[in-house]
Structure 1
Amino acid sequence: MTTSTGDTPLRARSAPPAPPPPAGRGHRDLILYLGVAYAGMWLAMAPLLAAGFRRGDARQSTGTLEELCIAAAMFAPALAAFVAVRSRRSAGRDGRVRDALALRWPRPWGRAIRDCLTAAAVPAGLTAAALALGALTGHYPVRGVDAGGLAGWAAGALLGMVVSLPLFLGEELGWQGYLFPRLLAPGQGPGRPPRLLRAYVLTGAAFALWHLPTLLMGGQYPGRPWYVSVPAMVVSCTLVLPVFTWLRLRSGSVIPAVVAHAFVSSVSVGMVKEFAGPEAALDPLTMGLTGWPGWVVMGVFTGFLAWTGRLRPWPDR
């Protein structure tokens, strides 16, 4: 599941996070970003909340209104990132918006293709491992797989993922492009190291709580009350965030993180449904990357990334 590369050229290629802004200004920028991102999510979900929409089953499909509201919400983090960066630029800080948010293709092009393929292959492997763990423990009702049908489904799922990439770019420009690098910035004073644990935990928590309107409507954990779905979402997002961040740091670009996020939120969810018995009840708390089998698998993989130093962005360590 892991792509092995030489660490020295990899770190040299990765762009370091943006330098920390002066004390006080940095906090205002972060508050501005979070305020716009969260307000955008709530405004986008307002029609569904007002209509009393609630998802009660994991197999339930979404209608046109739900899709439009979700699409609008997914652009909120990108809008927030642009507003926050433009605010800093007006104060004489940060360069181009594209550079500030790592909105660039990995270079060279061959490396970009390999990074994007890795961004799809790793979540696919993690999802398969989570489903296997669920099946072995009796929590995932796996069914027989027809090779011909599976190939057709996979082609359609990957095509749908590619079409959805602009939406996930809207999210990752905010979380990986803006928020994580600024929370990672070194503390005040010479020689201070990046604040790794703080950046991962706070970004994961902010990413999870941003989904609160959808969680209240049963979006990610249908049929579960908020006091179950919200903590579960915090765990899921905190564990998957290092995977996205690793892809972002190793390439110096948010694009691989966008690909991985799109795979996790579309193809991975589809894998849970595709490989389960047609009449089986699907519980996201016990299946796939959103449930405890996924937490175990992602926790092990994140531990491997941390142990091998792949989650540290600084070339000089």
Structure 2
Amino acid sequence: MTPGRREDQQAESPKVAPDRRREARRGIGVFLVALVVLSAPAMVFAVVARNDIGILVLMWAPGLAALATRLMLREGFGDISLRLGRRSGWALLIALGYPVGIATAAYGLGWASGLAHFTSPAGTSSGWGSFAGELLVGTVLGTAVGLVFALGEELGWRGYLLTRLIDAGVPRPLMVSGLIWAAWHLPLIIGGSYLTGNGGSMPVIAVLFVVQVTVVSYVFARLRLDTGSIWPAVLLHASWNSVIQSVFDPHTSGSQAWLWLGEQGVLTLAANVIGAVILCRRPGRVLRQPPT
């Protein structure tokens, strides 16, 4: 049995009352409608104007959609899970270090094999020492800044949608949550404002990205459900964006680098599969909130 199947079956196992299941399904429907309504203007701005401000605003659309759904359906805010429990410490360390480990393995192999090339962006010092300094700053300071925007997404994806998919009895809720999360990015990829700036085939990039996000969503879900807190997922999201997008990607070049590295890269995907297997090989828990 693959770790993905085990995790999904674990998430499906709790008994859910029929009323709660109906409420969860209604919440999913309202959330998805609100998500489209709130995301569309920001996506248009990001694609047409090619402005990063649109993407930063877009990152808060899932969170605002979740908050709007809670208000419309009078669900309350108790299960957002903004509290840290006793088991959250190890999860926060994993969340901060996971992108560094994945990127070091994938990009290191890509650079060493010649599938891509290590380079220094214009205006920065060259050499591995400078790169190590950038990685340290990106992991600490870049992640801290990124928490503001990552929180906007995670309030929606892991703070609302994931637990509703479980309560609604949706088959393989962890996989479905990852597919929805990936599909939400596709308009940006198709519009050419996300991931396609370094060349490459847009259809291939889109397919690889969907697979990549679906795989890594199991890691996000495991950290969220096993601790009962969304903060490990928020930290992982912020750390991933900073380490991959702001540190490793700018130091990578090559005509085929887009295929092997980056958020859609084959080597990054392989490293994520291994990481997900390691972290999800044992059955986890399904906690809505941290244990008191």
Specify if TM > 0.5.
yes
Pick which of 264-273 and 121-130 moved more: 264-273
Deviation at 1:160, TM superposition (A): 2.3
Q: 1:192-211 residue pairs with structure 2 within 5 A?
A: 198-211=172-185
Tell me, what secondary structure is at the counterpart of 1:215? helix
1:69 aligns with 2:54: yes
Match of 1:34 in 2: 32
Q: 1:231, CA displacement in angstroms?
A: 1.6
CA distance 1:289–1:215, shift in 2 (3 Å): closer
d(CA) in 1 for partners of 2:259 and 2:17? 39
Matched ranges for 1:1-317 at <5 A: 21-51=19-49, 53=50, 66-89=51-74, 94=75, 96-97=76-77, 99-104=78-83, 106-108=84-86, 112-142=88-118, 146=127, 148-157=129-138, 158-185=140-167, 187=169, 198-218=172-192, 219-222=194-197, 223-273=199-249, 275-276=251-252, 280-281=254-255, 283-310=257-284, 312-313=285-286
Distance between the aligned counterparts of 1:17 and 1:83, measured in 2? 27
Whichever residue aligns with residue 215 of structure 1, its letter is I
Cα contact 1:75–1:171 (8 A) shared by 2: yes
Structure 1 runs (4+) deviating above 6 angstroms are 16-20
Over 3 Å counting, the alpha-carbon distance change for 1:115 and 1:307 in structure 2 is closer
Q: Secondary structure of the equivalent of 2:257?
A: coil
Greater relative contact order (CA < 8 Å, ≥ 6 in sequence): 2
Could you tell me which runs of 5 or more consecutive residues in structure 2 were left unpaired when the two chains were aligned: 1-13, 121-125, 288-292
- Residue by residue, what CA displacement relative to the aligned partner does 1:30-55 show, whole Å, maximum 9, x if unpaired? 1111121122222112224344x4xx
Q: Counterpart in 1 of 2:5?
A: none
1:3 matched residue in structure 2 = none
Q: Give CA deviations for 1:263-315 in whole Å, capped at 9, x if unaligned.
A: 11221223423553xx64573331144311111111122223333224x527x
| TM-score between the two structures when normalised by the length of structure 2 | 0.79
* TM score, norm. by length of structure 1: 0.74
Structure 1 residue 216: Cα displacement: 2.0
In structure 2, relative to structure 1, the CA distance for the partners of 1:274 and 1:45 (3 Å cut) is closer
Larger helix proportion of the pair: 2
Root-mean-square deviation (CA), in Å? 3.0
Whole-angstrom distance in 1 between the partners of 2:58 and 2:248:
24
* Partners of 1:85 and 1:100 within 8 A in 2: no
Decide whether aligned partners of structure 1 residues 18 and 155 sit closer, same or farther in structure 2, where only a CA change above 3 A counts.
farther
Q: CA deviation at 1:141?
A: 1.9
In the TM superposition, residue 82 of structure 1 has moved relative to its aligned partner by 0.9
> 1:47 is matched by which residue type in structure 2?
F
Distance 2:18 2:272 in 1: 30
Q: What secondary structure sits across from 1:139 in the alignment?
A: coil
| Amino acid aligned to 1:80 | A
Deviations 1:148-177 (A, max 9, x none): 413431343231221121110000111111
Aligned length: 268
Deviations 1:5-59 (A, max 9, x none): xxxxxxxxxxx999775454433321111121122222112224344x4xxxxxx
- Inter-CA distance 72–289: structure 2 relative to 1 (3 Å threshold): closer
CA spacing shift, 1:313–1:23, aligned 2, 3 Å:
closer
Counterpart CA distance in 2 for 1:304 and 1:161 is 24
Q: Evaluate the alpha carbon distance shift between residue 175 and residue 156 of structure 1 in structure 2; reply closer, same or farther with a 3 A threshold.
A: same
Alpha-carbon distance between aligned partners in 1 of 2:242 and 2:262, rounded to the nearest angstrom: 12
State percent identity of aligned pairs.
30
Q: Is the CA contact 1:221–1:285 (under 8 Å) kept in the aligned structure 2?
A: no
Amino acid at match of 1:73: L
3-state SS of 1:130 partner: helix
Following the alignment from structure 2 to structure 1, what is the Cα–Cα distance between the partners of residues 264 and 53? 23
Going from structure 1 to structure 2, the CA distance change for 1:178 and 1:305 (only over 3 Å counts) comes to: same
Instruction: Provide, for residues 232-253 of structure 1, a one-character-per-residue CA deviation record: whole Å limited to 9, x for no partner.
Output: 2211110110111122123211
C-alpha distance in 2 between matches for 1:306 and 1:242: 8
Matching residue's letter, 1:235: V
Q: Distance in 2 between matches of 1:292 and 1:307?
A: 22
Question: Within 2, Cα distance between the matches of 1:47 and 1:81?
Answer: 22
